[in-house]
Structure 1
Amino acid sequence: MRIPRLATFARKSLRRFRGSAFARPVVHALDRVWWARVIRRADLIDDDLIRAQGFRTPRAALRAYVRGGFRTGVTLNPLAMERLIASQLSDVGRVPALYAYLVNDPRRIRVSVNWDAVGWAEAHPEALSDPAGPLGHRWRLARAEGRIALGTKRETTSVPWSTVVSAMGRSARREPSGPMASSSVARIVVCEVGKDEPDLAYALDAVLDTAAQAATDLVIALDSDEVESWLACTLVWAWHPRVRVQTRDARLIDSLPVAPNGVVVVRGAGNEISSADLHALATAGTEGPVAPLWLDETGAIASAGLVVSGGRYRHLLSGHPAEDAQAAGEWIAVPRIAAPTFAHPLGSSPNGPGRTLLGAVVRAPRLSPPIESAPGPDTDVDPYLRPAGLVAVAGAGGRPRVERRLPDATSAGATPRLRWALKIAAPPGRPGEFWGDTHFARGLADALRRLGQDVVIDAYEARKRPSARLDDVVLALRGPEPIDAQDDAVSLLWVISHPDELTAGEAASFDAVFAASRSWARETSVSWGREVRTLLQCTDTRRFHPRGLPRTSERVFVGTARGIARPSVVEPVKAGLQLSVYGPDWTGYIPAHTVVARSVPNAALPALYESADIVMNDHWPAMQRAGFISNRLFDVVAAGGRAISDEVDGVGEIFGGAVATYRTIDELLTLLRRPSEEVFPLPEELARIGAEVRAAHSFDARARTLLDRALELR
């Protein structure tokens, strides 16, 4: 079990060497030489494209690209999107995406929104033998044949290669392409692209999906000088029959045609919004101005709409968690919509009264409210606040201040309704969906709500949001990042991972400390001189329970590589045993064909765990040493599954034979080579163990413990 620690040490040492002042210039120069050599040998630099960008030779373009141009929009092949490729591979932003693509197995790497590289690799296995993978194979074939099929998985269009060449020139000149929007359409979708668009591929995917229905025009308006961004958008013009690509113009919305019963949907520059939420806006926008609930970069509310206070517009519920707005239902009517992504009927203004769709969410930077005077009397905000248990009271200078609405007197023995804030280490938005902490917090929040509590969840960046003073109980789910206690609330700390990074000083300010390890809680109570109670991890029994699915022969692992050679994955694959891996960042550790997908939707995990022959699991070395049992084992066994895991104190006592453990690599391989029926109990015994886990280790059981302790401390 020394391998992960040695690998981690080696990687840290290499990073320190790379970062040293002495080595940095030399290492960077050698990196650039190697990147250029690999890309040049792959022979995928498009002459027409580099000339359009002003480079005289492929060598000059390649030199500019590896010297930092890959970060500033220099592009070498029209069928590749730099940031899209980089987002799927390790070393994002440090190495050029084309280089990373060429040194990895490309069969599951998506390279553009304008053609399906993954589908091409599946349909043309010979593409994997091309020196530049499916990208080079498709590009060379298109140039040779003079045509290429562009589009989405839903629909493609065969276009002349000369049209692609024209798109390259137009992109370099930032030249508009396509017709103006028509007055005969039912819907116009406007996609604004910012100077530093964080995820252009995600934005284009969303608007292309929203514009897929008949009688819809798409306008892509760029506020960017990067040729790569212009090219990706202009290639949409090459295959999409009703698209306009142009420079972003503040007068664009006002210049759109008036269409009977038509609607315009505007996706703001740099805004993160799903295609489903854009569809919801498009549908609701036919009835008047609508906007989604606007969250800022931290995940807190930027605005739930504009309300009037003191003759000025102000952002409703700014600085509150999303749950405070969503408690009001599907939508609320507001004096004026606020989010930079919105919809409204064609020919009307978005600046009048409208609605905020609370189920639709956009993440975008905060903006100041309009500075002009607001007509009419001050808005009564109590109807917006009441569903979340809040009320507006007079504050300093006459400005309203939001406070908790005290519940009516409860009868003796009734449980008080407290407001809980669950603080987690996960980031907000889409990145946080890949963190187990996010889903763990949601399961616990639902359980607390079933006990009559109000609960909000704060991503790490929102842990100190302005409205935190309203919270009665703060529960810090301690993972890889520190979270502070809160002086004006009951503060509970639940250590669920990374115990080696927690100090006695950090824990001292909390009113109570729990730990997901019996041995660590016992030892730490002695060493810190304060009580640390055991509270093991758990499972959401409403999701993880048997469904009667047949067991397959698939042996699976779900998770990231963590930057180490995880033994439960690497060693079986090295030994030639079958394993299906679901997770990112496995490049360089295992062959690409063993990676089934970069992720699994959280909703699909129960079925995967129940039906798998075996679910593989291992722990961070520090968690294993300290006796912290992964919550994956609780989920697997609760779902009716079977697991193999490294040995951690307490696994046998909790899970019985449903989890087989190993101490050495030889023991791991021996377990995997035996028939599973010889390793695990009979189905009846597995069912009994699973039922015990669901009864004793559910989120409902943990929520009851936490609530009782919070009430004691109050």
Structure 2
Amino acid sequence: MAADRNARATVLASGLLDRDWVGAQLGVVFASDEDAADRYLEGAGDCSPHPLFEGAWYAASKARSERGGDPLLDYLRDSRAGLRTSPHPLVDVDRIVAQHRAAGEDAYGPLAWWVRHADESTQVPVPEGVPAVTWGRLRADALDAAAKRAETADVRLVSRRTRHRPQPGPVPPLPRVDGTDPLVTVVLAVRDDGPRLRKAVDAVQAQTFGAWELVIVDDGSADDTAAVLTGVSAFEPRVVTVTVPRGKEGSLARARNAGLDKARGRYVAFADTAHTWSPHFLSVMLGSLEADGAGLAHAAMRVKAADGEWYIAVEGGRDHLLALDHVDLASLVARRDLVASVGGFDESLGGAESLDLLLKLSAEAPLRLVPHVLLDRDEDARADDGRWSAKVLERHLVDWETAQHQPREARRTSIVLLAGADLDRTVRWVTRTMARAREAADIELVVVGTRLPRAVELPLAMLLSTYRNATLLSPLARIGAAVAANLGIATTTGETVVLARTTANPPRDGFHSLSHVLVDEEVAIAQPLVVDRPGLIVSAGAVFGRGRPHPEPFLAGHPVRDAQALTYPVVPAPLSPVIAVRASALVRLGGYDVRAGDAMPEVDLGLRAAEQGLGCTVVVTQNPLVLKAGQLPRLDSAADGVLALQALRATSPAGSEDAWGRAGFEVVGRRWEDRTAVPGTEVDPLVFPALTPRTVVRPLRATVTEGPPALRWALDIAAPSGRRGQRWGDMHFARSMAEALERLGQRVTIDTRDLRHRDTRDLDDVVLVLRGLDRVVPRPGRVNLAWVISHPDLVDGAELASYDRVYAASSTWASATTAATGVPVVPLLQCTDPRNFNPERAAPDTGPAVLFVGNSRDVYRKSVRSALAVGADVVVHGSDWERFLAPNLIASKVVANEDLGALYASAGVVLNDHWDDMRRDGFLANRLFDVTACAARLVTDEIDGLAEVFGDVVRTFHDEQEMGPLLADPAAAFPSYEVRRELAEIVMREHSFDHRAEVLLDDAARLLGR
């Protein structure tokens, strides 16, 4: 017990025990802090000790030490580094320490210090992106959320199955029966149940209460059911038989309604062939109803399962029924007039009409449990269609009638976010979305989380309480993503509704670009272009092949450029975890059709919008959404989403070939790929062939062309994807070359190192390898061009011979390599982009006196070393210079490419030097062309070919002695500005990317025979 007392003392001393908070979560009131601490430390119930301490959030932190036990004690006993870890999504511990030096020295950590010193008016140290909020307001909101959750604890915690047999109360007396009419009508609907029908009838005849009638309705059976019925009715006057035409598969609603029409009893019960009634079922149930005057009740059940016997005996009403769906129709006895008042069974449902009836009845009268085990059920007896069960739950949860008349706020965007158990992802989604939306006219956020754990729901409720127009819906019902989304949709008030899942990050521009597209009345739905991190398309919407509807992600595996060549591609349907929908169309459609399942209801929504003339689906290609390919729903032939979609439609929708055509492709076929080995898609190939369709396309070709042919180009570079690759000079060079080719009517994709093996490269006409660090194997069937622009030592004759044409950024190396290998190498020097590099970018001599732009790469660059040795005032931009230069000499680690021209044009002198292999083989650096195009003074090391291109305008140095005079008096050492401008005009005209693009296109067209 001493250890317990010590733990209690530690918790109370820290201040991180809030008595009211613990009580609100558990639904009790504590007389003292000590009682609350003891209850918390005993682990009695799921709770946290303080509104700003969440053990699960702390446990997820990488900084937590793995001691186990109570998370608060772990936190308080952790090292000082651990105490700097935030234990709640609304706490920025570093902010506390920055504002209060004493907090960093507190024995229990900065948060404990803050809690002990805060009052109601103190601002909570929230992270960036969360609105400012006082401790008094946040605590009140937290207590309110905890109390509301505690009110539903019985619904959340109750189990619908238990191994404990319920304890029955006294057996009620048999009800009195006046006259000859039956007190109860038993309705038994059957379909092809001949072999089991006799057993069900025997169970009714064995009842100890005899004032019953049995109405058996044959729902168009195709077996010997009719013959069995004839035999039963011949010897039992209390049996009435009815035959109706066969109804919907999976539904006996019409048959049961026909039985109700024949009923004469005050009560009705529903037998079936999957349940076995106890002989006392009717006597106990009717006795209970008569004694209490109740309208309906259900009995406890015993379930015979493979792992033993279970019991279902839940006391509760409508909320329990929505949450558990624990009542079988065969366990119910109800007053007939009550059943009639709610309209009996809904015959429009294809299944789950029993659940619908139970929910309708429970809305009219209390649903009582009779705690006697009065029937047995086989474990596999319940076979309701899950799609229809979802439809029934949606019907009783979502008020579409009110939503139809809900006033909509102009220019308001409502975001419906489906939250899961991953609190971190949801928090990041909320904070980033709302932070980016602050500049928007009006934003409403509705977060829907079904059956969320306490450790997720309460912190999320606290977070949302800090925002204006933010709401958390946490229904208890067993609903999937589609019903949850509809629940959120029905509460929105914006003219645009964004439906999102946390599997993807929010778009970088918020939702402005998506909402903007919906201004067009012909557009109902907009989705972002979905890409993976390397830069290939994951989905540009859904397209379909001929036959049964089977969605495919449009342009999947294609470079982003194929989608961005179109302003707003129109597709048959969306396929994205984020879509924006015009609210008027969305509500008119009734949101998602839940029968389409939870995997991709967006696809069905887009198809219905087009079918009903409410508008098309477009793809917004700017600001793509990054998503891993594996995070899209399964699309193989065995996927639940595909099967659900096919159950709703017999044929594929139109528009797919048009979408391909607008993207520049024609459909030539379709192939099915085996995906059974893909993780997460395991299915039994003997049951379902897990095949995924893939449309086979080829580029459209114009029959008559004027001018150069329009070709598809892939520019292959050694730079990696992502932010790191954006800084490579190869990337800037490739972008300028791509833009120059595009100005000639070409379609160009830049393939980084991660993308060069994409399958869709087979659709390209020309592969141009900008040869740097990587050796690239030519693509068969394409025109393969290689342009050696750096690292010539890595290239050999065998590699050069594998290409259709080879260029080199050195006349010297081209001539020598041609002679040595017998492979013709064409000189094609590096070049510049006059749009960024020209004399007009800045006035001369207004910037740094001596400038160097480039990375060190762990080498003390010769030009920088020489300039500093002669005392020049050098300004350096680039990375990895810290080991060579004082910090005051390093102006920045990187210069944006669009700013580089102005920096060159303004400099007094620009320095340059070459790597040893480049200088030896005459590879003139790209910087030479950029600087001279700006009419700037340039000093570089000696290299072959320099004079042939730049004359005597560019000055060279060999060592410090030659560098000194050039920097001491640049005006005397260099030609005049007018002479430098004349060279700039030549460089911009003869050594531009546009000029190089013309050469490459002319050669490629000749090699293709066009």
Structure 1 distance, partners of 2:705, 2:791, is: 40
Alignment correspondent of 1:363: 626
Q: 2:436 aligns with which of 209, 219, 224?
A: 209
Structure 2 distance, partners of 1:191, 1:559, is: 45
Q: Within 5 A, what are the aligned runs for 1:12-31?
A: none
Structure 1 distance, partners of 2:787, 2:434, is: 41
Give the SS at the match of 1:291. strand
Q: Is the 8 A contact 1:307 1:336 kept in 2?
A: yes
Alignment correspondent of 1:332: 569
Is 1:317 matched with 2:555?
A: yes
Q: Is the 8 A contact 2:568 2:621 kept in 1?
A: yes
Is 1:377 matched with 2:652?
A: yes
Alignment correspondent of 2:700: 405
Q: Is the 8 A contact 2:534 2:721 kept in 1?
A: yes
Please state how far the C-alpha of 1:210 moved relative to its aligned partner.
Answer: 3.0
Structure 1 distance, partners of 2:752, 2:967, is: 42
Q: Residues 77, 302 of structure 1: CA spacing in aligned structure 2 closer, same or farther, 3 A cutoff? A: closer
Alignment correspondent of 1:294: 530
Structure 2 distance, partners of 1:472, 1:510, is: 14
Structure 2 distance, partners of 1:211, 1:76, is: 20
Structure 1 distance, partners of 2:496, 2:742, is: 39
Q: 1:308 aligns with which of 540, 544, 561?
A: 544
Alignment correspondent of 1:613: 908
Structure 1 distance, partners of 2:429, 2:975, is: 46
Q: Which amino acid aligns with 2:669?
A: A
Alignment correspondent of 1:627: 922
Q: Within 5 A, what are the aligned runs for 1:139-218?
A: 186-189=412-415, 208-217=435-444
Structure 2 distance, partners of 1:239, 1:574, is: 59
Q: Within 5 A, what are the aligned runs for 1:363-512?
A: 363-366=626-629, 367=632, 368-369=634-635, 370-371=641-642, 372-373=645-646, 376-395=651-670, 400-410=695-705, 415-512=708-805
Structure 1 distance, partners of 2:573, 2:554, is: 10
Give the SS at the match of 1:461. coil
Q: Which amino acid aligns with 1:637?
A: T
Structure 2 distance, partners of 1:591, 1:222, is: 54
Q: Residues 264, 556 of structure 1: CA spacing in aligned structure 2 closer, same or farther, 3 A cutoff? A: farther
Q: Is the 8 A contact 2:503 2:577 kept in 1?
A: no
Alignment correspondent of 1:26: none
Taking structure 2 as the reference length, what is the TM-score of the superposition? 0.50
Please state how far the C-alpha of 1:440 moved relative to its aligned partner.
Answer: 1.9
Alignment correspondent of 2:688: none
Q: 1:225-251 CA deviation, whole Å, 9 max, x = no partner?
A: xxxx99x99998797656679999957
Alignment correspondent of 1:703: 997
Q: Is the 8 A contact 1:197 1:270 kept in 2?
A: no
In structure 2, the gaps of 5 or more residues are 1-51, 60-70, 142-148, 150-405, 451-455, 593-601, 608-616, 636-640, 673-692
Q: Residues 206, 602 of structure 1: CA spacing in aligned structure 2 closer, same or farther, 3 A cutoff? A: farther
Please state how far the C-alpha of 1:491 moved relative to its aligned partner.
Answer: 0.6
Alignment correspondent of 1:655: 950
Structure 1 distance, partners of 2:988, 2:755, is: 32
Q: Is the 8 A contact 2:715 2:734 kept in 1?
A: yes
Structure 1 distance, partners of 2:935, 2:928, is: 11
Percent pairwise identity: 31
Please state how far the C-alpha of 1:356 moved relative to its aligned partner.
Answer: 0.8
Q: Is the 8 A contact 2:720 2:752 kept in 1?
A: yes
Structure 2 distance, partners of 1:429, 1:660, is: 37
Please state how far the C-alpha of 1:563 moved relative to its aligned partner.
Answer: 4.2
Q: Residues 406, 340 of structure 1: CA spacing in aligned structure 2 closer, same or farther, 3 A cutoff? A: same
Q: Is the 8 A contact 1:193 1:270 kept in 2?
A: no
Structure 2 distance, partners of 1:694, 1:410, is: 29
Q: Residues 674, 274 of structure 1: CA spacing in aligned structure 2 closer, same or farther, 3 A cutoff? A: farther
Q: Is the 8 A contact 1:150 1:239 kept in 2?
A: no
Q: Residues 544, 304 of structure 1: CA spacing in aligned structure 2 closer, same or farther, 3 A cutoff? A: same
Structure 2 distance, partners of 1:536, 1:635, is: 13
Q: 1:445-489 CA deviation, whole Å, 9 max, x = no partner?
A: 232233343333323222122222222221111122222211101
Q: Which amino acid aligns with 1:500?
A: D
Please state how far the C-alpha of 1:437 moved relative to its aligned partner.
Answer: 2.2
Higher relative contact order (CA 8 A, sep 6+): 1
Q: Residues 206, 452 of structure 1: CA spacing in aligned structure 2 closer, same or farther, 3 A cutoff? A: same
Structure 1 distance, partners of 2:446, 2:928, is: 49
414-423 or 479-488: bigger deviation: 414-423
Structure 1 distance, partners of 2:77, 2:474, is: 28
Q: 2:580 aligns with which of 320, 331, 343?
A: 343
Structure 2 distance, partners of 1:262, 1:508, is: 62
Q: Is the 8 A contact 1:423 1:463 kept in 2?
A: yes
Q: Residues 550, 244 of structure 1: CA spacing in aligned structure 2 closer, same or farther, 3 A cutoff? A: farther
Q: 1:263 aligns with which of 496, 501, 507?
A: 496
Q: Residues 332, 453 of structure 1: CA spacing in aligned structure 2 closer, same or farther, 3 A cutoff? A: closer
Please state how far the C-alpha of 1:537 moved relative to its aligned partner.
Answer: 0.9
Structure 1 distance, partners of 2:870, 2:77, is: 46
Structure 2 distance, partners of 1:402, 1:623, is: 43
Give the SS at the match of 1:393. strand
Q: Which amino acid aligns with 1:210?
A: A
Structure 2 distance, partners of 1:211, 1:401, is: 44
Q: Aligned pairs, how many?
A: 604
Q: Residues 415, 184 of structure 1: CA spacing in aligned structure 2 closer, same or farther, 3 A cutoff? A: closer
Structure 2 distance, partners of 1:530, 1:444, is: 25
Please state how far the C-alpha of 1:305 moved relative to its aligned partner.
Answer: 0.8
Q: 1:683 aligns with which of 959, 977, 983?
A: 977
Taking structure 1 as the reference length, what is the TM-score of the superposition? 0.68
Q: 1:516 aligns with which of 809, 826, 833?
A: 809
Q: 1:18-55 CA deviation, whole Å, 9 max, x = no partner?
A: xxxxxxxxxxxxxxxxxxxxxxxxxxxxxx99996648
Q: Which amino acid aligns with 1:394?
A: G
Please state how far the C-alpha of 1:352 moved relative to its aligned partner.
Answer: 1.8
Structure 2 distance, partners of 1:646, 1:151, is: 52
Q: Residues 479, 340 of structure 1: CA spacing in aligned structure 2 closer, same or farther, 3 A cutoff? A: farther
Please state how far the C-alpha of 1:433 moved relative to its aligned partner.
Answer: 2.9
Q: Is the 8 A contact 2:538 2:555 kept in 1?
A: yes
In structure 1, the gaps of 5 or more residues are 1-47, 81-110, 168-174, 176-181, 224-228
Q: Which amino acid aligns with 1:706?
A: L
Structure 1 distance, partners of 2:429, 2:791, is: 32
Please state how far the C-alpha of 1:594 moved relative to its aligned partner.
Answer: 4.4
Q: Is the 8 A contact 1:493 1:510 kept in 2?
A: yes
Q: Residues 400, 673 of structure 1: CA spacing in aligned structure 2 closer, same or farther, 3 A cutoff? A: closer
Please state how far the C-alpha of 1:638 moved relative to its aligned partner.
Answer: 1.5
Structure 1 distance, partners of 2:889, 2:836, is: 27
Is 1:639 matched with 2:934?
A: yes
Alignment correspondent of 1:282: 515
Give the SS at the match of 2:768. strand
Q: Is the 8 A contact 1:426 1:437 kept in 2?
A: yes
Q: CA RMSD in A?
A: 5.4
Q: Is the 8 A contact 1:49 1:77 kept in 2?
A: no
